[in-house]
Copies of this chain bind each other. A is one copy, B any other.
Amino acid sequence: MSVYTDKDPNTLQEEYQKLSETYAAYQAQHLALNMARGKPGSEQLNISNEMMSVLAPDFDYRTSDCPDVRNYGNLEGIDEARQLFADLLGVERKNVFVGGNSSLNMMFDTIACLMEQGCSGEKPWNQQGRIKFLCPAPGYDRHFGVTNYFGIEMIPVPMTKDGPDMDMVERLVREDAAVKGIWCVPKYSNPQGITYSDETVRRFAALKPAAKDFRIMWDNAYIIHDLTATPDKLLNIFDEVKKTGNEDMVFEFCSTSKITFPGAGVAAMAASDANIALVRKRYNFQTIGYDKINMLRHVRYFRNLDGLLSHMQKHRAVLEPRFEMVIDKLNQELGGLGIAAWTKPNGGYFVSIDVAEGCAKRVVTLCKEAGVVLTGAGATYPYGKDPKDSNIRLAPTYPPMEELKKAMDVFCVCVKLAVLEKALAQ
């Protein structure tokens, strides 16, 4: 029982008055703070700066499978890069395609490929009339953007602490052949930081979709992006689909965007032989090949998976205190008030908060008017519509620590204000 859940109008009004003054004081500071996007901060970018000069002008540009990485060729990427990602993802090198600078772009291209060519002997998706995708929500707004661009209907699926509601997923894919796929961020999910439980992964691998051409888009964006000494473990989906004979059901994606440089990293996908052959049919017309010099820069810099993993500890060192501070602020300011709930993620890039129903939009507006930009309320849901108007995604990685602290102070005040406004209006 707190002042916020207490319904005494006088108490509420008093608290509201007090907070309004605090809020006005923040406004008077003309802040310009941003917790909107999952962008690494400068300190993180500096970690990888040495990679810039790994390839000197007199470098040897030959690799085992490529006479000169500076020239055209090697559509699937150079072997050393494919091997590094194979080791990371726990698959064979032949099942890895290394692409350009963006795993989002690879996902987009994969959906485009399925729209144009179809798979598993079925008609191209764009010739099947209305088709649907399951969208665990809250989720990644850019996944929903891709789906919507291609005119695919989005069906939200609630998230549980173990991943998407698998009863619902199983039922929908079994009953509706128009359901062609699902978006998953299986580890440190965006925005909640949830890692799918072993049972969830196994149930995904064992799906029996009505649509033969149903595909899981397994966006393993935060595969080694741990924030604590107790990282989550995710089952290898490809190990599981081998057991169920569902190898063709999964496309897995990852990138070094949040390992080296966002926008100048290397993206990769893993897929079955048949699926690699399928996307290759499109890539073969789309391009002569991706940037192999940047692939070589990455593999020479990291050397191997161990190099990659120890590199991630440097990111953790920068990020862990930020996330701790955010969680501490939430505990201090909003803990026990019964007006907001959040999770403490072991990895990823976000803290997800559910504020009292009907208040998320108002919180984001209040923050904005005090100079703190957040991800738009609803962005984490298909069509931008959060049915409860409750979820807010905080991205604590980008602003300098002092700005982040201030932004969190403002945020906590705004949550309280929004809840009080609503209570007083009733």
Residues on A facing B (Cβ under 8 Å):
37, 39-40, 42, 45, 49-50, 52-53, 55-59, 61, 68-73, 100-102, 104-105, 108-109, 112, 116, 126, 142, 145-146, 148-150, 257, 261-264, 282, 284-294
* Known interface pairs A109-B286, A142-B285; 13 further A-B residue pairs with C-beta atoms within 8 A, sorted by A's residue number: A45-B70, A53-B56, A70-B261, A70-B263, A100-B101, A101-B290, A102-B289, A116-B150, A145-B284, A149-B282, A261-B293, A263-B291, A263-B292
Residues on the B chain within 8 Å of A45, using CB: 61, 68, 70-71
Q: Please determine whether B262 and A70 come into contact, CB atoms closer than 8 angstroms.
A: yes
Beta-carbon nearest neighbor of A73 in chain B: B263
Q: Is the CB of A287 within 8 A of B73?
A: no
A98–B116 Cα distance when bound, in Å, is: 26
6 intermolecular pairs with C-beta atoms under 8 Å apart: A37-B72, A42-B68, A45-B61, A53-B57, A142-B285, A149-B282
Distance, CA A101 to CA B257, complexed state (A): 17
B-chain residues with CB within 8 Å of residue A73 when the two chains form the complex: 263
Contacts A45-B68, A52-B55, A100-B101 hold; do A263 and B285 have CB atoms under 8 A apart? no
Minimum CB–CB distance for A117 against chain B, Å: 9
Known contacts: A50-B57, A291-B101. The answer to whether A70 contacts B264 by CB under 8 A is yes
Q: How many subunits of this chain does the assembly comprise?
A: 2
Of A52, A126, A262, chain B has the most CB atoms within 10 Å of the CB of: A52
* A59 pairs with B52, CB closer than 8 A: yes
- What is the CB-to-nearest-CB distance from A90 to chain B, in angstroms, rounded to a whole number? 27
Q: Which 10 A-B pairs have CB atoms at the shortest separation, nearest pair first?
A: A264-B293, A49-B57, A149-B285, A105-B287, A72-B262, A108-B286, A45-B70, A70-B261, A102-B287, A101-B291
Q: Quick one: closest B residue to A290, CB to CB?
A: B101
Given contacts A53-B53, A101-B100, contact A262 B285 (CB under 8 A): no
Residue on B with the closest CB to A50? B57
B262–A71 touching, CB < 8 Å: yes
Q: Using Cβ atoms and an 8 Å threshold, which residues of chain B touch A290?
A: 101-102, 263
For residue A56, which residues in chain B have a CB less than 8 angstroms away from its CB?
A: 52-53
Contacts of A52 in B (CB 8 A): 55-57, 59, 293
| Chain B min CB distance to A416 (Å) | 32
A263-B70, A264-B293 known; A146-B285 Cβ under 8 A = yes
Q: Residue of B at shortest CB range from A57?
A: B49
